[in-house]
């Protein structure tokens, strides 16, 4: 089979189609021109790292919380700097 670079979206589509089991892995791989070992490698990767897709929302919330805390601290530093300059 000819070597090809697959996008992440294409890999996911192929693996999900294989997981649905409407066709055999052999038929699926022939359809897309993918080696079966490559398909199983992609599937293993998805199953091992798929949880990250659900953690993304949690990381976004944490990022927003940290950004808000950072802005709050910057305001405090700014206020203290103004006070120090008034006292000079």
Helix or strand holding residue 7 (H, E): none
The CA-CA-CA angle for residues 42, 43, 44, to 5°, reads 90
Residue 61 belongs to a domain:
yes
* Mean pLDDT, the chain, integer: 90
Indicate whether 66 belongs to any domain: yes
Domain of 59? Answer: 8-87
The number of domains in the chain is 1
Higher pLDDT, 2 or 43: 43
In a domain, residue 2? The reply is no
Which among 47, 17, 49 is positioned nearest to 34, based on CA atoms?
17
Asked if residue 24 belongs to a domain, the reply is: yes
pLDDT of residue 46: 94
Averaged pLDDT for residues 50-59: 76
Q: Looking at the domain assignment, is residue 1 inside a domain?
A: no
- What is the structure's pLDDT at 61? 80
Reported as a pLDDT band with limits 50, 70 and 90, residue 1 is low
Q: Is 62 inside a domain boundary?
A: yes
Span 3-21, mean pLDDT? Answer: 92
Q: Indicate the pTM of the whole model.
A: 0.60
Burial zone of 82 (CB within 10 Å; 0-12 exposed, 13-18 middle, 19+ buried): exposed
């Amino acid at each position: 089979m000819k070597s090809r670079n697959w996008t992440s979206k294409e890999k996911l589509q192929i693996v999900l189609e294989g997981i649905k089991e409407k066709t055999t892995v052999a038929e699926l791989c022939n359809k897309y021109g993918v080696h079966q070992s490559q398909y199983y490698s992609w599937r293993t990767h998805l199953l091992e790292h798929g949880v990250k897709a659900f953690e993304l929302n949690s990381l976004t919330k944490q990022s927003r919380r940290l950004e808000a805390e950072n802005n709050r601290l910057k305001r405090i530093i700014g206020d203290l700097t103004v006070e120090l300059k008034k006292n000079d």
